[in-house]
């Protein structure tokens, strides 16, 4: 029987310059029509982008928006009410900042470590002086996170004040420290867990980020953890989703991070593509089937091979299987249809606290000569450029950008960190890298040194070659300066 031809929605891939593409059109294998692309160029590109989407008559725009472009894309989505964004900007709310993850979990009563967020320095100081330690302090807003570099364990009020006066993180994001065995990353498609693994900290350490030397394994992820991840995915109404869940020494589970932007093997992106094709054209595509706990077996395959495997599919065993090992009633997590919701759940007028609280020019965290903590009063304010609070938002110093196009070294949009694999060949000396950064217009000595000190030689090289967006996690180093760095790096003669 031939199906009557029905017209399909016109799909466009949402891309941004210098941001690694999570989806490729090959993830949508079998989609019969042309898949369009719309690329956002950083800077003042909103209207041109909107016009291009209209001109191409795109109905569905698919892709993640990095944190630094999140608010712009909320505006773009408003200007294109007929276009369906997948995921919606509401589903991507958590991609913007740790603060947003916290608001999201509070709203949906999802368990997180107790967290306080302060925009008023006096309130932060009062809390710091009055609370129990250890605490965890995190930078809330970074365009992309570099596994734990901006997360600090703090043992006293003095240490907290010292940290805030040095790092100037703003807002102050202060969380109870959870003694942890490990944490678990769960990835979901259509609210069904499709991959999950433990990340264990190195012996005697507390950070579980694998980029910090931790280990991973795919076996025996507790059901409660999968259930919690499903609840979060449903709350976000996310077509695809990842959650990092802490497992405390008392086996309590709390969400540390969640987002639609995460590092995923290509076969997982294929699964998302298959799912989305079915969502958008159920008359043309079968609902995909993902075997439950497939990760326990796929995870045995060497990751170098998993990284290349594509279009893995499962046949669904039926009742009549003669091996009799399959009982459909065992199935706990089914692939669900996400509903398409119009309207805004997290309008920026109500939730963009960062832009409502832009402070200027001063570092009010008090530190007297004894390292003692201020008594809730802001004290003398140091008036030098270095004392700006770190809002994660670039200052107004302009760096001329000649050409926005086609810089090499695409970057990942992942909010949840990926594992760096620095090439351990011939590494340059740290001083050479510092000198390189100093040679870039708009990058000062202090920042140059800070980048190299923080990331180390291999971390810097990894960032420049594979994850440039991570450099924008440094204070006052945002898109324009990043582009200047990448242009210089392209021309650079530093032989490694």
Ligand X SMILES: Nc1ncnc2c1ncn2[C@@H]1O[C@H](COP(=O)(O)OP(=O)(O)O)[C@@H](O)[C@H]1O
Taking CB under 6 A as the rule, does residue 475 contact ligand X? no
Q: How far is the CB of 257 from Mg ion (least distance, A)?
A: 5
Cβ-contact 335, 189 below 8 angstroms: yes
Report what 207 binds from ligand X, Mg ion, none; CB cut-off 5-8 Å by kind. ligand X
Judged by beta carbon, residue 99 or residue 257, the one nearer Mg ion is 257
Cβ-contact 138, 98 below 8 angstroms: yes
Taking CB under 6 A as the rule, does residue 88 contact ligand X? no
Q: How far is the CB of 151 from ligand X (least distance, A)?
A: 4
Using DSSP, state whether 225 is helix, strand or coil.
Answer: helix
From residue 44 to residue 73, the character string flagging contacts with ligand X as x (rule: CB under 6 A) and all else as - is ------------------------------
The number of angstroms, rounded, from the C-alpha of 322 to the middle of its chain's C-alpha atoms is: 45
Q: How far is the CB of 208 from Mg ion (least distance, A)?
A: 8
Considering only residues 237 to 266 of the shown chain, the ones binding Mg ion according to CB under 5 A are 257
Kind plus residue range of the DSSP H or E element containing 248: strand 240-248
Considering only residues 224 to 263 of the shown chain, the ones binding ligand X according to CB under 6 A are 244, 256-257
Taking CB under 6 A as the rule, does residue 470 contact ligand X? no
Taking CB under 6 A as the rule, does residue 140 contact ligand X? no
Taking CB under 6 A as the rule, does residue 178 contact ligand X? yes
Report what 178 binds from ligand X, Mg ion, none; CB cut-off 5-8 Å by kind. ligand X
Span near ligand X by CB under 6 A; candidates 48-56, 59-67, 146-154, 473-481: 146-154
86-113 CB burial, b ≥16 within 10 A, e <16: bbbbbbbbbbbbbbbbbbbbeeeebebb
For the chain, the first-to-last Cα distance in angstroms comes to 61
Euclidean distance between CA atoms 261 and 64, whole angstroms: 6
Q: How far is the CB of 144 from Mg ion (least distance, A)?
A: 11
Which candidate, 286, 262, 321, 353, places its Cα nearest to that of 71? 353
Report what 183 binds from ligand X, Mg ion, none; CB cut-off 5-8 Å by kind. ligand X
Judged by beta carbon, residue 102 or residue 479, the one nearer ligand X is 102
Euclidean distance between CA atoms 166 and 170, whole angstroms: 12
Phi first, then psi, for residue 233 (nearest 5°) are -60, -40
Taking CB under 6 A as the rule, does residue 147 contact ligand X? yes
Q: How far is the CB of 146 from Mg ion (least distance, A)?
A: 10
Cβ-contact 196, 262 below 8 angstroms: no
Length of the chain: 496
Binding site for Mg ion (CB under 5 A): 257
């Amino acid at each position: 029987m031939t199906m009557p031809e029905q017209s399909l929605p016109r799909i466009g891939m949402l891309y941004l310059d210098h941001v690694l593409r999570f989806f490729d059109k090959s993830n949508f294998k079998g989609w019969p029509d042309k898949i369009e692309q719309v690329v956002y160029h950083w800077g003042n590109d909103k209207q041109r982008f909107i016009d291009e989407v209209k001109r191409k008559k795109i109905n569905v725009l698919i892709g993640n928006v990095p944190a630094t472009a999140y608010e712009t894309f909320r505006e773009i989505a408003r200007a294109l009410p007929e276009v369906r964004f997948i995921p919606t900007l509401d589903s991507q709310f958590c991609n913007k900042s740790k603060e947003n993850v916290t608001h999201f979990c509070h709203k949906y009563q999802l368990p997180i470590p107790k967290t306080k967020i302060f925009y008023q320095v006096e309130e932060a100081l009062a809390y710091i002086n009055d609370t129990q330690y250890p605490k965890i302090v995190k930078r809330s807003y970074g365009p992309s996170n570099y596994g734990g570099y901006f997360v600090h364990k703090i043992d006293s009020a003095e240490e907290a004040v010292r940290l805030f006066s040095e790092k100037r993180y703003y807002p102050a994001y202060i969380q109870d420290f959870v003694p942890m065995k490990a944490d678990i990353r769960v990835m979901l498609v259509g609210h069904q867990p499709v991959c999950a693994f433990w990340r264990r900290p190195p012996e005697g350490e507390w950070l579980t980020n694998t980029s910090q030397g931790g280990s991973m394994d795919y076996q025996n992820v507790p059901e409660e953890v999968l259930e919690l991840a499903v609840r979060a995915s449903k709350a976000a109404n996310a077509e695809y989703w990842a959650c990092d869940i802490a497992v405390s020494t008392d086996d309590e589970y709390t969400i540390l991070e969640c987002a639609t932007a995460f590092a995923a093997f290509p076969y997982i992106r294929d699964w998302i593509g298959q799912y989305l094709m079915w969502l958008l054209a159920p008359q043309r595509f079968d609902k995909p089937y993902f075997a439950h706990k497939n990760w326990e077996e796929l995870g045995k395959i060497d990751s170098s091979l998993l990284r290349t495997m594509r279009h893995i599919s499962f046949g669904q065993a039926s009742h009549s299987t003669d091996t009799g090992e399959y009982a459909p009633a065992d199935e706990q997590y089914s692939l669900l249809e996400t509903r398409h919701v119009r309207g805004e759940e997290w309008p920026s007028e109500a939730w963009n606290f960062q832009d409502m609280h832009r402070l200027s020019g001063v570092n009010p965290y008090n530190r007297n000569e004894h390292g003692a903590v201020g008594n809730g009063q802001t004290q003398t304010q140091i008036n030098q450029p270095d004392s700006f609070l770190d809002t994660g938002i670039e200052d107004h110093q302009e760096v001329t950008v000649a050409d926005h196009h086609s810089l090499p070294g695409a970057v990942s949009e992942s909010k949840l960190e990926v594992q760096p694999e620095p090439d351990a060949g011939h590494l340059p000396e740290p001083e050479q890298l510092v000198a390189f950064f100093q040679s870039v217009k708009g990058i000062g000595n202090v920042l140059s040194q800070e980048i190299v000190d923080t990331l180390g030689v291999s971390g810097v090289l990894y960032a420049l070659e594979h994850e440039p967006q991570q450099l924008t996690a440094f204070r006052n180093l945002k898109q324009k300066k990043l582009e200047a760095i990448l242009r210089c790096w392209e021309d650079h003669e530093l032989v490694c």
